[in-house]
Amino acid sequence: MTETKMDSFMRLADKLERDRDLSDDELASVLLCDDPHFSDDLSAKARTVRESIYGRDVYLRGLIEFTNYCRNNCYYCGIRAGNKNVERYRLNAEEIIACSDQGYDLGFRTFVLQGGEDPYFTEERIVSIVSTLKKRHPDCAVTLSVGEWERESYRKFYEAGADRYLLRHETADKDHYGTLHPANMSFDHRMQCLRDLRATGYQVGCGMMVGSPGQKVEHLVRDLRFLQEFRPEMVGIGPFIPHHDTIYADHQPGSVRMTLRLLSVIRLLLPEVLLPATTALGTLDPLGREKGITAGANVVMPNLSPVNVRGKYLLYDNKICTGDEAAECIRCMSSRVARTGYQVVQSRGDHIRYKRDHE
């Protein structure tokens, strides 16, 4: 890249840092600029912002993948209903509670219950699991990631004690959403769910896959605009990774470097947001999660699921951490984080809300 071209990119990074915003075209050029010097500059700015708010702390969320049954057929996902080659499993309430007890002893203060949309887990069963978890560990945050429900169900889960909810929007472009999902899944309903979750009182996490089939940079710009408007407490992003039993088996995976740039841009657009360095990032690059933290992420989600089911929650191929015991996962994660100069902390790691200029 010529020096003048590089200068103009550096000026964009300065502008993003100063204004916490850029035009659509500017955002697109930032995302597409694959020059390592530029990415380093963006990361350094993102780190400064994140350290000014969260210091050097990295929050832990203990992920319990409690069912891989799913009624949906998202075209990119390995555990979609139509995949007959999946060995299905579900943990019962006692097993879920046992995972959380073990996690608690290891220092976790947030549990994320994630699963497919499994009809066995009715509203009543989820309510009962959440309230048991909260009674046993009242000092912990419980996060649900169990897909699309109606507002009334979200309210019941919340009243049972769920504090947070993760529901990635996947893509903020309705047509693009339509190409990634079958016709019985609705972009409008997913967006409605996010609004309902917010209105119910949850701390909400949304997010998108990076490099999903058919994604253009304009879609990512739309995702960023949606994030700015919705202002979620958390944004989970990770590269798309093909799964061999889907129609996208031969599609190329999302770019790690693009994901890292996006993490930095999101940190600069939404300084106080919680940003996980995801397993998908660690799957595509052995140092992906460390690079994510260096690029502005401040959350990691080690797996607490029992080892005998780990290898069955496979949304994509080659997923890492499918063989280790929870204790080993946390040891590994702590030392990975420590090597970046940051430290994992044993707190709930709540989202910090700053008074915004217009409030």
Residue 158 has, within 13 A of its CA and on its CB side, a CA count of: 18
Give the span between the Cα atoms of 274 and 212, in whole angstroms.
Answer: 22
Give the span between the Cα atoms of 194 and 179, in whole angstroms.
Answer: 20
Nearer to ligand SAH, 103 or 276 (CB): 276
Counting residues that bind ligand SAH (by CB under 6 A) gives: 18
Nearer to ligand SAH, 100 or 215 (CB): 215
Rounded to a whole number of angstroms, the minimum distance from the CB of residue 210 to ligand SAH is 9
Residue 76 makes contact with ligand SAH by CB under 6 A: yes
- Max intra-chain CA distance, the chain: 62
Select the span of 81-89, 113-121, 174-182, 191-199 touching ligand SAH (CB under 6 A). 113-121
Nearer to ligand SAH, 220 or 315 (CB): 315
Q: Which residues, 115 to 174, sit near ligand SAH by CB under 6 A?
A: 116-117, 145, 147, 167-168, 170
Residue 162: closest CA among 134, 138, 139: 134
Residue 112 makes contact with ligand SAH by CB under 6 A: no
DSSP characters for 251-305?
Answer: SPPPPHHHHHHHHHHHHHHSTT-B-B--HHHHHHSTTHHHHHHHTT--EE--B-S
Angle, vertex CA 32, rays to CA 29 and CA 37, nearest 5? 95
Rounded to a whole number of angstroms, the minimum distance from the CB of residue 288 to ligand SAH is 12
Q: Which residues, 247 to 306, sit near ligand SAH by CB under 6 A?
A: 280
Among 59, 66, 154, 240, binds ligand SAH (CB under 6 A): 240
Q: Which amino acid appears at position 253 of this protein?
A: P
Give the span between the Cα atoms of 359 and 357, in whole angstroms.
Answer: 6
Nearer to ligand SAH, 163 or 170 (CB): 170
Residue 90, φ and ψ in degrees, nearest 5:
-145, 145
Among 96, 112, 193, 209, binds ligand SAH (CB under 6 A): 209
Rounded to a whole number of angstroms, the minimum distance from the CB of residue 315 to ligand SAH is 4
Residues interacting with ligand SAH, by CB under 6 A?
76-77, 114, 116-117, 145, 147, 167-168, 170, 209, 238, 240-241, 243, 280, 315-316
